[in-house]
Chain A
Amino acid sequence: MSLLKINGLTHQFGGLTAVSDFSTEFHGNELMGLIGPNGAGKTTVFNIISGFYKPTEGKIMFKGHSISGMKPHSVTSLGVARTFQNIRLWHDMSLLDNILISQHYNLGYNLFDLFVRNRRYMDNEKRMKSIAIKLLEQLDLVQFIDEQPKNLPYGIQRKIEIARALSVKPSLLLLDEPAAGLNSSDVQELIKLIRWIHKEFDIAIWMIEHQMAVVMSLCSWIQVIDFGKTIAQGTPEEIQNNPAVIKAYLGDDKI
């Protein structure tokens, strides 16, 4: 059984077909890239998978469950986590709380336990906290644990968003332009980070990115879409030399 299988996915906004007949498959823990011109429908694909839009047509199977039309939080609970093109952290809460709240998929206690503060409540709160701290330690973020994200540098915020996504213990991590707004040296760090996460957590990663340096050095397989349709897919080398991709997306770098 494949991890994620998308078949004939189509999505329309009013009259505009943002995604049309899109298919893909994750067999195991690949690291794949999704690229394409602006407005091609990449983010829309992610939004559909994470349950934010209900697709007009098509099937999405994740670990054997059909997830099209599921609520976002249920999709996440099944093991799909994501980051956003524009950072969406809870900026007025501490970093720790940001990570803790993402444990909602597995609280382990109910309202009654909460009000009486019984054993179950205490144990689970402790468990979640230790998960969060461990994760922050792994990602070298633990020194910011009491800070509010809004007060942290942009590069760190990007990293926190990834940490938050990891805290739901995903099997598939969707990254929407993780390098956007990062400077060249931060980008190098990010590449290392993603490679490390892929190995350490042993999860599938699918990313949208416009910085070719990132995509080409990380992804084993790249899919290119334009106007919602797949125009090419293949290894980085194949994509880089594909004339259709060059014409629609890569261009030539003469200024």
Chain B
Amino acid sequence: MKKFSVPALFIFIAVGTVVAAHFEMIDLYVQTIIMFIGVNIILSSSFNIINGYMGEFACGHAGFMAVGAYVTSILNVMFFTSNKTFGDPILSPELALWFFPVTMIIGGIAAAITGVLVAIPSFKTRDDYLAIITLAANFIIVSLFINMDTLGGPRGFMGMKQVLFAMEDVVFIPWMLIWTFTFTYLVVFLIRRFVSSTYGKGIIAIHQDEIAAEIMSVNTDKMKLVAFMFSSGLAGIAGGLFAHILGYINPNSFNILKSTECLVMVYLGGMGSLSGSIIAAILFTLLIEMLRFIIPAADTLLHFIPLIPDTFHLSQVLKWVIIPFILVILMQFRPEGIMGNRELSDFFPKLKKYYEFK
């Protein structure tokens, strides 16, 4: 039953969470964190295609996320809600439920097309020059959205909550949670199929020796195009989910800082390790949220002992000192990321009985 073990485990977790959410056994905060984890898993594992498997140093993932976020949001808001920019809904709001995945995919396609912008220069450019192209692309995309007044410009764009309400009006279950689970699974599934095929391994060959790859009949230009489009398309889907979880987007949510977070997750997990990306995304998201609880707890503890003066309080500011610090320390101990370029089953051979990465 090797083949079904992972899907079964996943379905168990997903259904469990959704049911628990529906009956309010887990609260909205926890649900949101779970959804952010999903989005981050999509972001890091899709970014890993370029930065891990293909070994390029791209750093503008958030730009593609922005394209996906805006396109899906606009489509959904335009078609299923009444809005001051786009007027009355074009389709009946009940249909939102059925078209939601379609709009996600359209958003992904739009982001993939934007990815071509970066892919074509990558034919000739490598390394840190490519890093700049992606970085510049990120700046350009954000700047473009800031300048689009009809989409709210810097004020951002909203109305996606209405889309969600439209879905909930049809059946009242936690839809966003369901969509996040579905797309996260789908994305990981597709990436795994891609990188374990002979076709997909072409990008690993490019990573290790591009010249040898080209000479051994790998069409490197095409592979790069595919890889960039695939990766940015998936980032677009992450963006679409993100927009609907939040109900509001704003160009600055997709600036370099967001790209930096993606970078951190990829390298923390390990270049070219899909399970690494997933683990890193989970850890990273949880770490950020846990520190909300840990810092005040530590503060109380230190005052209780008492180790620090009454007037001094550990502030939340320390969070963004602690997180990078933990990462720096982690890198010192595991300078190839949590998983290196290996998968879970390589670490725990016993797991091979239950699942196989191929």
Contacts and interface: CB of A to CB of B under 8 A. Distances in A.
Interface of A: 50-52, 71-73, 76-77, 81-82, 84, 88-93, 97, 100-105, 107, 109, 111, 114-115, 117, 121, 125, 128, 164-165, 168
Nearest to B204: A93
B197 A114 contact: yes
A168 B218 CA distance: 11
A90 B341 CA distance: 14
B60 interface: no
B208 A109 contact: no
A167 B19 CA distance: 53
B198 A115 contact: no
A102 B216 contact: yes
Given A72-B215, A101-B205, A101-B216, 16 more contacts: A51-B215, A76-B217, A89-B212, A90-B205, A92-B208, A97-B204, A101-B201, A101-B202, A101-B218, A102-B216, A103-B198, A104-B199, A104-B202, A104-B217, A114-B199, A168-B217
A129 to B, nearest CB: 8
Contact of B198 (A77, A91, A125): A125
B41 to A, nearest CB: 19
B208 A76 contact: no
Nearest to B197: A114
Contacts of B209: 88-90
Contacts of A100: 198, 201
B200 interface: yes
B212 A88 contact: yes
Contacts of B216: 76, 81, 101-102, 104, 164-165, 168
Contact of A114 (B193, B208, B220, B221): B193
Contact of B208 (A71, A72, A93, A121): A93
Contacts of B218: 73, 101, 104
Contacts of A50: 215
Nearest to A109: B199
A128 B198 contact: yes
Interface string B72-103: 00000000000000000000000000000000
B226 interface: yes
A105 B10 CA distance: 37
A85 to B, nearest CB: 12
A114 B194 contact: yes
Contacts of A93: 201, 204-205, 208
Interface string B186-228: 0000100110011111101100110111111111110000100
A92 B190 contact: no
B215 A90 contact: no
Contact of B194 (A71, A72, A109, A115): A115
A82 B215 CA distance: 8
Contacts of A165: 216
Given A84-B212, A128-B198, A102 B204 contact: no
A16 to B, nearest CB: 21
Given A73-B218, A104-B219, A92 B341 contact: yes
A101 B190 contact: no
B121 to A, nearest CB: 17
Nearest to B198: A100
Nearest to B201: A101
B208 A52 contact: no
24 contacts: A52-B215, A72-B215, A73-B214, A73-B218, A76-B217, A88-B209, A88-B211, A88-B212, A89-B212, A90-B212, A93-B204, A97-B204, A101-B201, A101-B202, A101-B213, A102-B217, A103-B217, A104-B218, A104-B219, A115-B193, A117-B193, A121-B197, A165-B216, A168-B217
B211 A52 contact: yes
User: Which residue among A51, A72, A104, A114 has the maximum number of chain B CB atoms within 10 Å of its CB?
Assistant: A104
Contacts of A125: 197-198
Contacts of A84: 212
Contacts of B211: 52, 88
User: Which residue among B190, B201, B216 has the maximum number of chain A CB atoms within 10 Å of its CB?
Assistant: B216
Given A88-B209, A90-B205, A101 B215 contact: no
Interface in B269-322: none
Contact of B199 (A102, A107, A164): A107
B319 to A, nearest CB: 37
B208 A111 contact: no
B217 A77 contact: yes
Question: Which 10 residue pairs are nearest across A and B when measured between Cβ atoms?
Answer: A105-B217, A88-B212, A76-B217, A90-B208, A102-B216, A104-B218, A72-B214, A104-B217, A101-B205, A73-B219
A50 to B, nearest CB: 6
Contact of A107 (B194, B198, B205): B198
Contacts of B200: 114
B216 to A, nearest CB: 4
Contacts of A111: 199, 226
A92 B201 CA distance: 12
Nearest to A82: B215
User: Which residue among A72, A109, A165 has the maximum number of chain B CB atoms within 10 Å of its CB?
Assistant: A72
B234 to A, nearest CB: 12
Contacts of B193: 114-115, 117
